[in-house]
Amino acid sequence: MEKTINLTLKIWRQNGPKEKGRFETYKVNNISTDSSFLEMMDILNEQLINENKEPVAFDHDCREGICGMCSLYINGRPHGPDDDVTTCQLHMRKFKDGETVTIEPWRAAAFPVIKDLIVDRNAFDKIIAAGGYVSVSTGGVPDANAIPISKIDADESMDSASCIGCGACVAACKNSSAMLFVSAKVSQLALLPQGRVEAKRRAKAMVAKMDELGFGGCTNTGACEVECPKNISITNIARLNREYLKARFAE
């Protein structure tokens, strides 16, 4: 049955990348616990517009947990207090009446704030552009069933491929490392015969780009795995390290 709650929101507001940011406090009342977190933000914004104030800017799009657009650091956790979900799938039943909720953008040097809660995650595209693909052009490829792939490898590859590129791993990491993101792509492709051919080059190129863009190193704290909305495992990082070392030894 429908229940409603009242909340105090402490939200990071920042006009632009070079402007100074600050927390602003807002109240929202009668929020249905069946509504999603972003619907609660919609209600806040509607309230602000009606008061002739500028609404809070935040990234979101598919609202079903797959596009990776939504972010938000909620009460100190990327994607908030629920497990295995993105912010758009987080529902208000996870909050208590009267609670104060702190909402911040991802904090990482490689993800500068654009406005309020929106950050620039272009660095992820640059890492993929550096080598996160199989170098085949359209046409002239063999029949899809020409190379059998064991179900175990295909399933494991699929698990790694589930990454949505949201950046929660970077936001969760005290070093702002992108290792979980990079290792997921390296693993997905290294597990398949199609991707094996370029595995060494790929691992080296992606790691080099990640370092160049200002992401930190991995110190195995595992926070990324805990906060990943798609359960990407840190065993991917182990595989990346293996691939990377193999590539270096081969030099």
Partner 1 sequence: MSVLNARIPEGPLAQKWTNYKDHQKLVNPANKRKLDVIIVGTGLAGASAAASLGEMGFNVKNFTIQDSPRRAHSIAAQGGINAAKNYPNDGDSVFRLFYDTIKGGDYRAREANVYRLAEVSNSIIDQCVAQGVPFAREYGGLLDNRSFGGAQVSRTFYAKGQTGQQLLLGAYQALMRQVNAGTVKMYTRTELVDIVIVDGKARGIIARDLVTGELQRHFGHAVVLATGGYGNAFFLSTNAMGSNGSAAVKAFHKGAFFANPCMAQIHPTCIPVHGEFQSKLTLMSESLRNDGRIWVPAKKEDAEAIRAGKLKPTQIAEEDRDYYLERRYPAFGNLVPRDVASRAAKERCDAGYGVGTGLAVYLDFKSSIERLGKNVIEARYGNLFQMYEKIVDENPYETPMMIYPAIHYTMGGIWVDYELQTTIPGLFAAGEANFSDHGANRLGASALMQGLADGYFVLPYTIQNYLADDIRTPRMSTEEKEFVEAEKAVKSRFEKLMSIKGNRSVDSLHKELGLVMWDFVGMGRNKKGLQHAIERIAEIKKEFWSNVRIPGDIKGMNIELEKANRLADFIEIGDLMARDALNREESCGGHFREEYQTGEGEALRQDDKFAFVSCWQYKGDDAEPVLHKENLVYESVKMVQRNYK
* Tokens 């270096």 -> residue: 248
User: Does the protein bind partner 1 through residue 59 (CB under 8 A)?
Assistant: yes
Of the candidates 235, 121, 247, 109, the one whose C-alpha atom is nearest the C-alpha of residue 179 is 235
219 versus 231: smaller Cβ distance to partner 1: 231
Question: Tokens for 32?
Answer: 């249905």
User: Does the protein bind partner 1 through residue 135 (CB under 8 A)?
Assistant: yes
53 versus 248: smaller Cβ distance to partner 1: 53
Interaction residues for partner 1, span 193-222 (CB under 8 A): 194-195
User: Does the protein bind partner 1 through residue 3 (CB under 8 A)?
Assistant: no
Amino acid in position 213? L
Can you name the residues that pair with 7 across neighbouring β-strands?
28
- Give the C-alpha separation, 224 to 214, whole Å: 17
- Tell me which stretch binds partner 1 (CB under 8 A): 32-40, 101-109, 172-180, 210-218: 32-40
Residue 35 CB, shortest distance to partner 1, in Å, is: 5
Interaction residues for partner 1, span 166-195 (CB under 8 A): 188-189, 192, 194-195
Interaction residues for partner 1, span 85-104 (CB under 8 A): 85, 89, 91, 93
- Give the C-alpha separation, 175 to 163, whole Å: 20
Of the candidates 246, 217, 93, 86, the one whose C-alpha atom is nearest the C-alpha of residue 163 is 86
For residues 243 and 199, the answer to whether their CB atoms sit within 8 Å is: yes
Bridge-based pairing state of the strands 100-104 and 4-13 = parallel
For residues 244 and 190, the answer to whether their CB atoms sit within 8 Å is: no
- Tell me which stretch binds partner 1 (CB under 8 A): 28-36, 96-104, 170-178, 240-248: 28-36
188-221 burial, b for 16+ CB within 10 Å, e for fewer? bbbbbeebeebbbebbbbbbebbeebebbebeee
Of 3, 27, 53, 201, the one binding partner 1 by CB under 8 A: 53
Of 125, 201, 217, 248, the one binding partner 1 by CB under 8 A: 125
User: Does the protein bind partner 1 through residue 241 (CB under 8 A)?
Assistant: no
87 versus 177: smaller Cβ distance to partner 1: 87
User: Does the protein bind partner 1 through residue 52 (CB under 8 A)?
Assistant: yes
Of 6, 8, 24, 54, the one binding partner 1 by CB under 8 A: 54
Residue 220 CB, shortest distance to partner 1, in Å, is: 27
User: Does the protein bind partner 1 through residue 18 (CB under 8 A)?
Assistant: no
Torsion of CA 214, 231, 168, 185, to 10 degrees: 40
Residue 114 CB, shortest distance to partner 1, in Å, is: 6
Of 5, 11, 38, 237, the one binding partner 1 by CB under 8 A: 38
